[in-house]
Amino acid sequence: MESSRIHTLRLSPEEVEKFQAFFMGESGLVFEGRRLKEMERAIAGRMIELGVSSFDQYYHLLGRRDGKEELNQLLLSLTVGETHFFRTPDQFAALRKYVLPELIERARAGSRRLLLLSAGCATGEEAYTLFILLSDLIPDPSSFRITIRACDINKDFLEQAREGIYGERKVKFVDPVTQERFFHRLGKNRWQVKDELRRAVEFQHFNLNEPDYSGLAKGEQFDLVLCRNVLIYFNLETVKQVINKFHQVIAQDGYLKKVAPVAQASWPAIRVGEQR
């Protein structure tokens, strides 16, 4: 790919509006301000890769019935999958100390069922970290029915998550005991999660712009939803819609943990029952 050509292709104001509306309608993603340049470069890169000569031609390619795979390739360029195990340790410490023990005790006294969701899971580190935390907190995990679901719009990320192979930097916050328990070392700088961990997480392709989330919940209600990494791509109105849809599939006393889209400031975990 000729990187110099990418920087010479420029969207007109009308084309910017067309692509902005398309991304909003298809995925809920918002590209404004500095992110407009990211959108323009990603589109130009895909056009050069495919030999497409005009933005209008590429726009119509995306809108075709068979354009979904190309949209997935474009989204791969536009969404950042930068994450690692135990990212933001303070937040996972709060989950370990406050939220998860409460959910575990409630499940122990009732159905012994726990259903958790990592939304916008990227390459899976957050979802796998959740199971590691639960394994540390539950001395008798086999007596519980634990399901961790993880979803993302990016199919390539999901394939990496299912494979469970990570570089050294991804596991830098994992202590040696946990590494020994849950990971195989494949080489000097590569690790793979063990089968126990891979079996614990259900990865699913899902667009948070869908009108309802019944396809995620599958007739059940989540005890905990983590939505920490994806809301930064949405505008405030879309964030409100996403949160409202999550409220429909979270248990009355479940928790929703999210990150603010403005300045990426951390919002506290919300007990859903207090919001209804």
pLDDT in tens, 126-157: 999 999 999 999 988 888 999 999 999 888 89
CATH number assigned to the domain covering 3-78: 1.10.155
Q: So what's the pLDDT on residue 29?
A: 74
End-to-end CA distance of the chain, in Å?
52
Q: How far apart are CA 218 and CA 204, in angstroms?
A: 12
Token code pair at residue 64: 């075709």
Q: Where are the domains of the chain?
A: 3-78, 89-275
Torsion angle (degrees, nearest 10) of CA 41, 55, 13, 43: -20
Q: Which residues in 6-144 belong to E strands, given as ranges?
A: 113-119
Decide if pLDDT at 83 tops 80: no
Q: Which helix (H) or strand (E) covers residue 184, if one does?
A: strand 183-187
Q: Domain spanning 89-275: which superfamily?
A: Vaccinia Virus protein VP39 (3.40.50.150)
pTM summary value: 0.72
The order of strands in the sheet holding 165-167 is 165-167, 190-193, 183-187
Beta-bridged to residue 258, according to DSSP, are 227
Decide if pLDDT at 82 tops 60: no
Q: Which helix (H) or strand (E) covers residue 201, if one does?
A: strand 201-205
Alpha-carbon Rg for the chain, nearest whole angstrom, is 20
